[in-house]
Amino acid sequence: MRYGYFDDKNREYVITQPDTPLPWINYLGCQAYFGIISNTAGGYSFYRDARLRRVSRYRYNNVPYDLGGRYIYLRDDESGEFWSPSWQPTRNDLEDYTCRHGLGYTIIGSRYSGIEAHSTYFVPLDEDLEIWRLTVTNRRSKPASLSVYSSIEFCLWDANDDATNFQRNFSIGEVEIEDGTIYHKTEYRERRNHFAYFACSRKTEGFDTQREAFVGPYRGWEKPLAVERGKLSNSVAHGWAPIGAHRVKLQLGPDETQEVIFLLGYHENPPEQKFDPPASQTLNKKTVKPVIAKYLNFADVDAAFEKLRQYWDGLLAVCQVETPDVHTNRMVNIWNAYQCMATFNMSRSASFYESGIGRGLGFRDSNQDLLGFVQMVPARARERILDLAATQLPSGGAYHQYQPLTKRGNNDVGSNFNDDPHWLIVGVAAYLKETGDWSILDEPVPYDNAPGSEQPLYEHLQRSFQYTLDRLGPHGLPLIGRADWNDCLNLNCFSDTPGQSFQTTTNKDGKVAESVFIAALFVLAGRELAEIARRRGRTDEAQRYLAEVARMEDTVREQGWDGEWFLRAYDDFGRKVGSKECAEGKIFIETQGFCVLAGIGLDDGRAQAAMESVAKHLATGHGIILQQPAYSRYYLELGEISSYPPGYKENAGIFCHNNPWVMIAETQVGNGDRAYDYYARINPSAREPISELHRCEPYVYAQMIAGRDAPTHGEAKNSWLTGTAAWNYYAVTQWILGIRPTFEGLEIRPVVPKGWRGFKATRLFRGVTYNIAVTREGEGNQVALKVDGEPWEGTVVPAPVEGQREVTVEVTLK
Ligand code: GLC
Ligand code: GLC
């Protein structure tokens, strides 16, 4: 069953039923000011950091889940009836409800009692504010006399404090109201120099800023007393819960349309110009007023909306494909690229599954996310790499996370996730291949943000590599530390105390437990580093790296192979994890995908065997599960992985992040049919017809789909912020379609299904547009290229002569 449809032409998903199985959300903003918005207008906004600069309030674990948001009420002032055009919070029986989630904007509307109303929500580029543009049309045969009520609940900035520290919070709320604009200025009197505002384009009939005055005692947002009564009381919040609410009257003749703009924004003043007059406690509004005036103007709002559309058109134009499969086209051309930008902006911080008060930016996560967005925003990728590298520790290890606002490593989570440092090499290599900007390697970057410790970025990569060599275990494999990519395989944790964090509690100093996954990652990253060294003329270093890589490959072959598949790890007792010998957890996906992806076993049949084992033991119709058999009980020596009921999350769930590793591995062994088949199984668009089972948004990937051991096999959870976005984009564009940036130039080497007659693509690469047409003439993966009509040796297209902006590439597959 579907709850809407894809409008590919407008690059929108159109939801036609408000009660989707879960809130289906979108993101507003793509630079500094962000909002989450559900299909019924629920959600919240923040400036840069979802924890430290929360603009509007959101209650966790709410019922319904997305309650609290950007709510507009319409009231028929003759009958007294009122409703929300976005369905929530009043939940009237609306006609023609639609929510159009587009790129950076959402339009929600409906018709009720002859009145059509829809709101367009978006954040203009380069501004720290959001626009709610409401359009109301009277479809009755008689004039209508209506009132519009806006509402927003302010957060007292630190979202964690806001949800916990009531003894203080109930006394600190402060607002100012001037010319119909409501200013939220809690804590501005002391150490903050930022405030929020809520403005309206029309003359208002009153306002409310104290929540209880608006909703009334013992009521909620679904039936605010002020709206029911038809009158706001001009309440001024002193403490308690500051909100913003306006009332605007609309007189509409038959078929007449009128519009109202509401603006919710964030603004900073220089610390020495906080007040006006300077000796007062009154907000200085000199610099904010022009911004407000501008965006209360319809022409400026139109222009800003158009600019936003062009911005997204520009980003998506970097890679457009036309394949025989609508789901591939839609995801590559629109939604997967869009989701990659969301993971770039949010990392794992703020969604309806990530609270925004928990995690900062993950070191490994952000480096992997780069694989999905570097081609769209290379300059911002550069900045992200340098920020990440600056949190690296002198040992080569890394803080597992850092806070986006401070850009400092997060001490609560600490380090010792022994895979982390290698992802920096992977990220930097992807950046170099995309941009050819070798200057980044010479950028001075500190360790642990300590002034004076700056070294060229290249040295950071060297330390990343060395980090593992300094930490080898009894079998010569890398020690795992707190965890490797699988945060839940905690082989040194041994936690028996409720509430302890599996990630940050380490009860053993861990000189035994080893990770075959890190070994594979080391091989992949080591090869990249060797190539980087060689190209910088450091031949000796390159050779040393390659020698270490070769040694590690041998070790994996000798110590990390189980006969039919790659082992996963050795635990703290030196016992195998992910082996036939184990009672449960005999085979894991990560090492099958990643060893092959790193090239291990391609020449000795192990790669093929590992792929067969995945197909036999792990592949399901809903995707490939993480391991089998699922752990049926808690294993002290394995940690969080065995804490989950079978089939969920890392305990034999379909953890979508790693499925693309197998897709890529299948292309490495030349099996395009299988690579594509795995791709299609978890493609959200392809799963749209089973939305009642899948439950999450059909336009973005979710972190997890319940595995076959779960009672809810096929049900997705944790949509949006997941490494799945970048890895799927990377797998399908670079390995299945085979359009792959390399150090040398753009390589084109598709491994697509045998049944595909061909496909077309345009790819903007280092300032040149490559128009690519692939035609199948045989069943294999042999590639023959013609570049601008001339046959070309090999699979890497050369850079065109200076000044040439377009290149035509004809590819024949035999
Ligand atoms: C989550 C984490 C990621 C980790 C994965 C597997 O997605 O953000 O860092 O690799 O889980 O445990
Ligand atoms: C939990 C999650 C895992 C995530 C980790 C770190 O363990 O299951 O997916 O990687 O937390 O936040």
Centre of ligand 1 to C-alpha 513, Å, is: 19
Instruction: For residue 136, name the pLDDT band (cuts at 50, 70, 90).
Output: very high
Percent of the residues in the chain that have a pLDDT greater than 70, as a whole number:
100
Looking at ligand 1, which residue's alpha carbon is closest to its atom 7? 722
pLDDT number for residue 701: 98
Looking at ligand 2, which residue's alpha carbon is closest to its atom 7? 488
Q: Which atom in ligand 2 lies closest to the alpha carbon of residue 486?
A: 10
Is the separation of the CB atoms in 88 and 45 below 8 Å?
Answer: no
* 364 CB within 6 A, ligand 1: yes
pLDDT number for residue 504: 87
* 643 CB within 6 A, ligand 2: no
pLDDT number for residue 386: 98
Amino acid at 646: P
Mean pLDDT, range 767-771, rounded to an integer: 97
Q: To test the ligand 1 pocket, which listed residue (346, 353, 364, 365) has its Cβ within 8 A of the most ligand atoms?
A: 365
pLDDT of 665 strictly over 90: yes
By DSSP bridging, strand 619-620 and strand 623-624 are antiparallel
Indicate the SS3 state at residue 37: strand
Q: Is 572 a catalytic residue?
A: no
CA distance 429 to 45: 34
Mean pLDDT, range 563-584, rounded to an integer: 98
**Tens-place pLDDT, residues 271-300:** 999 999 999 999 999 999 999 999 999 999
Mean pLDDT, range 470-475, rounded to an integer: 98
Q: Which of 158, 487, 562, 572 is catalytic?
A: 487
Which residue do the tokens 């990390």 mark?
560
Amino acid at 441: L
* 355 CB within 6 A, ligand 2: no
Which residue do the tokens 């291949």 mark?
433
By DSSP bridging, strand 242-252 and strand 746-748 are unpaired
pLDDT number for residue 403: 81
Q: To test the ligand 2 pocket, which listed residue (650, 717, 721, 722) has its Cβ within 8 A of the most ligand atoms?
A: 650
Mean pLDDT, range 480-499, rounded to an integer: 96
Tell me, what DSSP letter sits at residue 398? B
Centre of ligand 1 to C-alpha 717, Å, is: 14
CA distance 610 to 447: 39
Mean pLDDT score of the chain, rounded to an integer?
97
pLDDT number for residue 242: 98
Q: Which atom in ligand 1 lies closest to the alpha carbon of residue 362?
A: 9
Instruction: For residue 358, name the pLDDT band (cuts at 50, 70, 90).
Output: confident
Contacts of 672-678 with CB under 8 Å at 24 or more apart are 672/736, 672/750, 672/751, 672/752, 672/753, 672/754, 672/781, 673/753, 673/754, 673/755, 674/611, 674/615, 675/731, 675/735, 675/736, 675/751, 676/736, 676/752, 676/753, 677/753, 678/619, 678/623, 678/624
pLDDT number for residue 552: 98
Is the separation of the CB atoms in 208 and 232 below 8 Å?
Answer: yes
Tell me, what DSSP letter sits at residue 392? B
pLDDT of 404 strictly over 80: no
Centre of ligand 1 to C-alpha 491, Å, is: 16
pLDDT of 407 strictly over 90: no
Is the separation of the CB atoms in 260 and 166 below 8 Å?
Answer: no
Number of H helices, E strands in the chain: 20, 42
Mean pLDDT, range 237-259, rounded to an integer: 98
Mean pLDDT, range 672-700, rounded to an integer: 98
pLDDT number for residue 560: 98
* 642 CB within 6 A, ligand 2: no
pLDDT number for residue 507: 81
**Tens-place pLDDT, residues 536-550:** 999 999 999 999 999
**Tens-place pLDDT, residues 177-196:** 999 999 999 999 999 999 99
pLDDT number for residue 48: 93
The structure's pTM equals 0.97
pLDDT number for residue 405: 77
Instruction: For residue 410, name the pLDDT band (cuts at 50, 70, 90).
Output: confident
pLDDT number for residue 798: 86
Which residue in 768, 685, 772, 795 sits closest to 322, CA to CA? 772
Amino acid at 648: Y
The encoded tokens of residue 336 equal 């997967």
H-state helical runs in 436-583: 457-469, 516-535, 539-559
pLDDT of 58 strictly over 80: yes
